[in-house]
Structure 1
Amino acid sequence: MTRAPEPGFTTFDTLTTQSPDAARELAEALITEAATRLRHSPGFLSSRVHVGDDRRTVIHRGLWRDAADHHAAADRLKELADRPGVQTAKTFAGTPAPGLHGPRTGVLPGRVAVATRHLRDPESYPALMDLLNRSGDWKRHHRGFITATPHISPDQLTFVNYATWEDEDSYRAWMADPRISEGQEEIARLEAAPAEYVLCAVVADIRAA
């Protein structure tokens, strides 16, 4: 069996809409675009579409072989941000770093958290990675945990952590652990602005053709 290539570049498109109906229509448009065009693009690895708990936020995560492959398909994704009902659109593009793998690695997540952090300076990135690695001993064995993958922007000032769990119960148990709040206090010292935290559910997971 051929092993799937590891992504060298990741994009997160976060779009807010004016209503749940607009979010649903946007998610459907993203799914159609990924299923009919993106999955045939050179270097495309996978596309995952999420809808936030607020029912107005849609997040598209794209995994690519490298940055050059993504640029060829980026214009079409930007066009979707101009759809009626879309209020804001933000794109993060960066490199994934080694993350944490839990006991449910490989399972399609029932719960996803996308945390975007704005770091004080480039030196904060290795300090943040050290904090995450030190917390890995207990997280790797947490019931229902799937993976947490960190990503860093080219200027090392924007950090996105993509964390997944099997279901709502495992997510709630994770967040209830006192070690989570302790870690958040340490991370806050490295930030230049409050983190943006989106809880969401996966509505489509599309692989390359």
Structure 2
Amino acid sequence: MTRRTDAHPDLTRPDAAAPFFSTWRVGTPERQRATVEAIAGTWERRPWPADGLLGYHVYTGRDGATLMHYSQWTSEAGYEAFFKTRRQERVDEIDTLVPGIERLGLDRYGRPRSRERAAGDTRVPGLIVTVRIDFEPDAAGRRADWIGEVLRALAGDPAGHRGLIAAHFHLSKDGTHVLNYAEWESERAYDAVLAAPGEGIGDGGEQWERVRTYPGVKGFTGTRYQHAVGLLPG
């Protein structure tokens, strides 16, 4: 059985050792909605495909043109088995329902290092922001240290990020980047942080300056999403 949920995923669950993110370009808000429904229906009509798949979530881009996919696996081997035996039938049905989807690639990550939500915080995220931080080819080994700098900056600037519920920093397996999956209370709260002193992140202080100018960082790319549907074993 496969069941739908409106609940956001828990990115800190310890058994999710192999998270995957991918992006599809579908073109319009109407096609976003149609594709989300096609994905959910296609999966619901089939048994849950693998014991190692903990959950699969789909998000609509605020650009009106893209979808983000996030899946939690217990291992990469579980995903490889699914890819060989169960994935294509789902892709074929979705493409029949919504032709012309452009798949932009899939990225593999390790378990994230997180700034977790505070104890007792029950807010439901109103906005998901992913920020991809690209690094120079010879700086792959410095990515974990950069994440530490960000977490220290967040700990020292709680008032400046009041609307931030949690942030989860993923190291890409190919060594090229970090992906921050940030859960925000609302788009308004996120915009307030962007409008504060600084250059888009932080309060302009010394700690955030170290984050922005960290050696080996090539650049930042942020994207806004809304959680559309989750699929779980039923």
The answer to whether structure 1 residue 79 and structure 2 residue 91 are counterparts is yes
Write the distance in 1 (CA, Å) between the matches of 2:31 and 2:177: 28
Q: Which residue is equivalent to 2:183?
A: 164
Write the distance in 2 (CA, Å) between the matches of 1:134 and 1:5: 23
For structure 1, the residue ranges without an aligned partner over 5 or more in a row are none
State the percentage of identical aligned residues.
21
- Greater fraction of residues in strand: 1
Offset of 1:157 from its aligned partner?
1.6
Write the distance in 2 (CA, Å) between the matches of 1:72 and 1:140: 43
Q: Which residue is equivalent to 1:174?
A: 193
Residue identity in the other structure for 1:99: S
Query: Is contact 1:6–1:65 with CA below 8 Å preserved after alignment?
Result: yes
Query: Is contact 2:27–2:64 with CA below 8 Å preserved after alignment?
Result: no
TM-score (norm 2): 0.73
Offset of 1:125 from its aligned partner?
0.8
Write the distance in 2 (CA, Å) between the matches of 1:158 and 1:85: 29
Change in Cα spacing, 1:108 to 1:22, as seen in structure 2 (3 Å) is: same
Q: Which residue is equivalent to 1:116?
A: 132
Change in Cα spacing, 1:145 to 1:207, as seen in structure 2 (3 Å) is: farther
Query: Is contact 2:16–2:54 with CA below 8 Å preserved after alignment?
Result: yes
Query: Is contact 2:27–2:66 with CA below 8 Å preserved after alignment?
Result: no
Change in Cα spacing, 1:87 to 1:168, as seen in structure 2 (3 Å) is: same
Q: Which residue is equivalent to 1:95?
A: 110
Write the distance in 2 (CA, Å) between the matches of 1:71 and 1:158: 22
The answer to whether structure 1 residue 135 and structure 2 residue 153 are counterparts is yes
SS where residue 32 of structure 2 aligns? Answer: helix
Offset of 1:189 from its aligned partner?
4.6
Write the distance in 2 (CA, Å) between the matches of 1:107 and 1:35: 28
For structure 2, the residue ranges without an aligned partner over 5 or more in a row are 1-12
Write the distance in 1 (CA, Å) between the matches of 2:22 and 2:144: 25
Write the distance in 2 (CA, Å) between the matches of 1:208 and 1:5: 18
Q: Which residue is equivalent to 1:205?
A: 230
Offset of 1:89 from its aligned partner?
1.6
Query: Is contact 1:22–1:85 with CA below 8 Å preserved after alignment?
Result: no
Change in Cα spacing, 1:206 to 1:117, as seen in structure 2 (3 Å) is: same
Q: Which residue is equivalent to 2:10?
A: none
Residue identity in the other structure for 1:203: A
Offset of 1:50 from its aligned partner?
0.6
Report how many aligned residue pairs link the two structures: 205
Offset of 1:164 from its aligned partner?
0.7
